[in-house]
Structure formats: structure tokens, C-alpha cells
Chain A
Amino acid sequence: MSTVAALNKASPLDALQRWLPKLVLAPSMLIVLVGFYGYIFWTLLISFTNSSFMPSYKWVGLTQYAKLMENDRWWVASKNLAVFGGLFIGISLLVGVLLAILLDQRIRREGFIRTVYLYPMALSMIVTGTAWKWLLNPGLGLDKMLRDWGWEGFRMDWLVDPDRVVYCLVIAAVWQASGFVMALFLAGLRGVDQSIIRAAQVDGASLPTIYLRIVLPSLRPVFFSALMILAHIAIKSFDLVAAMTAGGPGYSSDLPAMFMYSFTFSRGQMGMGSASAILMLGAILSILVPYLYSELRNKRHD
């Protein structure tokens, strides 16, 4: 503090320059503290109360969490998120990387193809959900089309099958996001030093080996960005579920975000809804923080 004061005396303008970065960041800091962490704290608080219809502040300890643990629907929703999130992120990465590598082979009409892969990302989840709900509609969609075309035995009824409906969500979400992953990796590939590849080729390494051993490992930061964005989409896929299945059949395609929304807003069990939100955040935290930490620390070493 004393140094700041000294500086202040030394030259007010200089001090301003010194403080300017912090000043510029201050509004955002305030926003983050209040709009993110203040609200999370408020949710945490509510999760320890018996808030039902509207927020109240009567402390009930961990009762809401205990109730949540007993709730079958919560477990279905959590399991679905694990399955959906895992498959969605995994398949999107795989498809994205593959398409990026293929597109990087000096393809004609690359710009056009790129746009085709990328455009689904422009659509809102509501539109994607509406479109795929219809495509996968048993009796009207692909189901009917392929039978019309002569594939008599074809059945595509995953949308109404409680055990498979979650894969429908994965299909729609991958369709939407994999092109974006492709774009990220294509951008990354364009940044890779060509001389390294050529050197490896001279050494007699095959193309797949070069990509697997040399190129892809160098794209670690791209993986990081892609993962961030995909996880962001997976958690926010509320819109997709709402438009595509509304959690059905039964509650077999419920996701935690959906669960939280329905308990907080339509069922008047705000305490339990908040508890589910906190658990959701906790799960994200436990996966993300170690990862973020290692990524950010690595960078500081660079």
C-alpha cells in the first residue's frame, strides 16, 4: 500500500496508468463476482432451506440433498448426463478430428464443404431439436422414408424407446457441434509447421502415423478449446431436450438441467431444485478444476 501511496505522490498520471488495467477489468470482476459467484452462493443458501414455491430462508440443513439422493428421477437424469456428455463429447471430437484431417488434404471446393459442416452450429438448439424430433419420428420420419424406399424391416423408434432415447439426443447434438470441432481442428492443423511433417515423411513415416504421433499431440491447446466448448454445450443442452423429447418417454431422457428447472420453477420445490444445481456444479467442478489448473499452470511455465 505504501508503495502505491508513494507512487501516487510521485506522479498521479503514472499511478493512473498503473491502475488502469485493474480499473478496466473492474466492471467485469464485479459482474463475475455478483453475477456468477454471488448467485451461486445464493443458490447454495437456498439449497439448505425449505424453499418451496418461492425463496424462503428457513434452514433445514441437508434435508434437500437427502431427498435428492432418494429420488429415482435424479439418478436417471445424472446417468443420462454421463452417457450423453461422454458420447457427445467423444463422438464430436472423433468426427471433428477425422473430418478436419480429411479436409486438410488439399481438397477441391474446401470452402463449400467447410460451410456445409459448419452451418448446423448456426442453428439454435430449439431448431435442431425440432428438426431431429421430426426426422426421428417413428412412423413419419426416416423410419417411414427408408421403408418407402424398400427397406421393409427398417425400424427407427429410438425416440419412443426409454432405453435408447438418450442416443437420439446424442445424434442431434453431434450433428450440431461436430462441424464446429472440425473447424477448430482444421484451424489448428493449418498452424502446424509443414516442415516437421515433411521431415517425418522423409524418415519414412506413414501419414496416419504422422498425424497420430506428431500432428495431433501438438494440437493439445485445440483439444482444450474444443473440450471447453463441447462441455459448455453439453451442460446447456436443456433447450435440445426441451424441444426434442421434453424428458420423455416417462422421464427417461431427463437431464440434470431439466430436472433442476422443473423442480425449481414448475413444481415449487425450489430447495430441492437448488440442491440439484449445486450438485451439478460440484460435479463439473470436480472434473474441470484439476484440468483448468493443469492447463493454466502449464501455460505459465511456457
Chain B
Amino acid sequence: MNAINRLAAVVALASLLPLSALAEGPGTVEVTHWWTSGGEKAAVDTLKKQIEADGFIWKDNAVAGGGGAAAMTVLKSRAVAGNPPAAAQVKGPDIQDWGSLGLLTELDDVSKANNWDGLLPKKVAEIMKYDGHYVAVPVNIHRVNWLWINPQVFEKAGASVPTTLDELFVAADKLKAAGFIPLAHGGQPWQDSTVFEDLVLSILGPKGYHAAFVDLDEATLTGAQMIEVFKTLQRLGTYMDPNRAGRDWNIAAAEVINGKAGMQIMGDWAKSEWTAAKKVAGKDYTCVPFPGTQGSFAYNIDSLVMFKLKDANDIKAQNDLAKVALEPKFQTVFNQNKGSLPVRQDMDMSQFDACTQKSAADFKEAEKGDGLQPSMAHNMATTLAVQGAIFDVVTNFLNDPKADPAKAVKQLNSAIKSAK
């Protein structure tokens, strides 16, 4: 009896040993994201290297496809299975959804120790908090309402840089007459809606934009101005390449870069393509706010939410990730690669190019008034359901040259109502 007991004790101890040894080992941080394109991948690698230099293990869980749809599927399944990663690329109102499920961890220690409240713009900080606590770390601020121009093409066609919608059409006509594709565009729902949201911001102004996409105000959504937006969208569609269906945004960007097309309506991530092609901002390409949206800033903020973990060492690794993501070194490299603005307000902007510097100045300006607005097409303004409903109407409208703007407005309103 005694012998058996002793044996049992030894076995128990022996089986414990490797366990405790495991607990001593370095923590692992697993990150689910869809930063898989060239510049993004390079940016994520810097984060990975920093984490590994700090003595932790980085487990990469990159899931490409569908603008993050595939990654979300994976994330949901894993959350349901009770096995979420340490961090995941989740943004905007979704952070609140995940927070309300009680799955996210509060980053109080890291955020206090590193003075996040002092570093981050107030609007950004609000988005990252659930119930008053930081549950996510922002990595960048994208501006969506940009227009990218190839000046050589403009010169050849005798077009000038537009600042109003009317001038945009004048320039487009000149480009068309000179045999260029006036507007490079990829026919994917989110790209169609990016153009749509820029038009709303331009025609309705930031207040009207807010009423339409954040408040989902029926009068605004069905108003005469919204019909005007759809009319303009339809007209813009005639300047796009008819073979655009399914084309990726960076393929469209390449058309402008190669001088096949004159301009592209796209967020500032388009710059990463210009940079990759060794082109210099202000010289080889021109960036201007989308005509009529000067002084406004439609933002799209990428962030990593942090899930509740059990293992103490993994939590250490997770905290390290949260800290490193906001450090100037990572912020610089990541945003230079992505084309976005650093989220930290105390950064030395001289390391960034003209476009980003302009973006930073515009951000500060827009922050003072109503100009700073969440991007609808990039899931910062509404729930995914409402966003999806808008996407469906817009993309269907743009792909049907005979569509009726007045009818589209009604469809938009009823689709939003049913998705709310």
C-alpha cells in the first residue's frame, strides 16, 4: 500500500515537472490578422522581430481574403471554441461587440504605464475603450478621402488637378479624350462604397455625412442631396474601366502608376503601392483630398484587440505586444509601409513624406470641428450589418448603368432599416 502510494506520488511529481518547466518558458503571443500584402507584411515583420527580441514567441495567424472576412470567420470560430488568439485585427464598433461578449482583456497596466491617454487623440482613445478600459491598441490612422493623381498623365491630357466635383469631371473628360482611363477602379463592393462615401462627404458635407452614416437619419438618407450623390456616382462610373469587376485595389493603383490611368479614388494605403514602385510623393504622384472634402478627414483606424488569456507568461507576451505596438520605432516603420498616420501625437513627422505630413496637418485641423468623421466603407461608422446593406445597394447600383438614382435612395433606406 505504502509502496503504491509512494509510486503514485513520484508519478504525480514527475508529471508535474514538465508542466512547471513549461510554465517557466517564454510566453507566446498569437496574432490573427490580414496584413498579408507586401508593405503590410514587412510592417508586421518588424512587430514580430521586436516581440522576439523581447524574449517572447510570435505565432503568426495570417488569414487573407475578402478584406478580413476570412479572418473574422476564423476568429469567431475560435472564440466559440473557447480558444481565441492573444490578439486580433479588429476595429471600430466591432471592438464594442467583442467587449460586450466579455472576451477582451483590460489593458489598464500597460496603458497607464505608457500614458496612452496622453499619447492618443481623444477620438481614437474612445474607440479603443470598452466600458472605460482600453481593450485594444491602435496601430495607425488611415485617411480614406484621397485622390491619387499621375501628373505626367494629367500633363499629357492637359488636365489640371481638381478641387471640386465639377473640376473632377472636366479633368476626367480631358483624360478620356486623350485616350487614358480617367478613373482607375476595382469593382469590389468596398471599393465602390469608398467612392460612394467620398461623394457623400463632398456633397452633404461632414455634418450630413454624420447624419447619414452614423445617425442613419432617414430624412438625410432619402433627401435630394442623396439622390444627387447617386447621380454623380453613376456619372463617375462611366469614367471607370468596364473590365473592373473583381479587380484588386492595388492592381487599379498600378494602372495609375504605369500611366495607363489618370487618377484613383482610394485611401492613403494606396501610397504604399507608389512607394513600392519607387515613386516620390509630390514629384511622381500627387495626392489631394477628394474634391469637395478639403478640411474633412474620413478616418479608418487599424487596431489589435486583446483577448483574455489564462497562462501568465502568455499574458506577459500579450502586454509586450500592446506596448511595442505604440512605440515610436514600430509606429514609424509600420506607418511608412502602410502609408497611414501614426496614432501617437508626439511623433517626429519629418521622417514621413509630403502626403502623410499633409494628412497629419489635416487631421489636427479636422479634429477641431466636425471634419473628423468615421469611414463607413471601412467599418468605422456603423455595424457590419448596416455597412453590408449599404454595400449591397451601392455596388448593385454602380454595376447597373441603367439604375435609377431615386429608386436607389429608397432601396438604401429600406435596406438600412432592415439591417438595423
Contact = CB atoms under 8 A, between A and B. Distances in A.
Interface of A: 52-55, 67, 70-73, 133, 137-139, 157, 159-160, 162, 165, 242, 245-246, 248-252, 261-263, 265-269
B34 to A, nearest CB: 12
B407 to A, nearest CB: 11
Nearest to B418: A67
Given A267-B385, A268-B383, A248 B66 contact: no
22 contacts: A52-B385, A70-B414, A70-B418, A72-B396, A73-B396, A138-B243, A162-B399, A245-B245, A249-B187, A249-B245, A251-B189, A251-B395, A263-B388, A265-B69, A266-B72, A266-B388, A267-B387, A268-B97, A268-B383, A269-B384, A269-B385, A269-B419
B392 A159 contact: no
A171 B126 CA distance: 51
Contacts of A162: 399-400
Contacts of B68: 266
B388 A54 contact: no
B50 interface: no
A157 B245 CA distance: 10
Given A70-B418, A246-B66, A246-B246, A252 B399 contact: yes
A55 B414 CA distance: 25
Contacts of A160: 187, 242-246
Contacts of B112: none
B101 interface: yes
Interface stretch (B15-23, B73-81, B285-293): B73-81
A55 B76 CA distance: 10
B388 A269 contact: yes
Contacts of B69: 262, 265-266
B411 A72 contact: yes
Nearest to B395: A250
Nearest to B100: A53
A159 B245 contact: yes
Interface in B309-345: none
Interface residues of B, number: 36
Given A53-B94, A268-B384, A268-B385, 12 more contacts: A52-B385, A53-B97, A242-B65, A248-B246, A248-B395, A249-B245, A251-B395, A252-B396, A266-B66, A266-B73, A267-B387, A269-B419
Most buried by B among A160, A165, A251: A160
B204 interface: no
Contact of B246 (A53, A54, A245, A262): A245
Contact of B384 (A73, A242, A267): A267
B80 A250 contact: no
A71 B418 CA distance: 9
Contacts of A250: 189, 395-396, 398-400
A139 B251 CA distance: 14
Contacts of A245: 245-246
Contact of B73 (A137, A138, A265): A265
Contacts of B419: 269
B105 interface: no
B76 A265 contact: yes
A162 B388 CA distance: 19
Contacts of A246: 66, 188, 246
Contacts of A53: 94, 97, 101, 384
A73 B399 contact: no
A248 B188 contact: yes
B72 A265 contact: yes
A266 B188 contact: no
A159 B245 CA distance: 8
Most buried by A among B79, B243, B415: B243
Contacts of B79: 54
Q: Which 9 A-B pairs have the closest CB atoms?
A: A250-B399, A266-B69, A249-B245, A160-B245, A267-B388, A265-B73, A250-B396, A249-B399, A268-B384
Contacts of B411: 72
A54 B400 contact: no
B253 to A, nearest CB: 17
B243 A54 contact: no
B72 A157 contact: no
B187 A248 contact: yes
B201 to A, nearest CB: 23
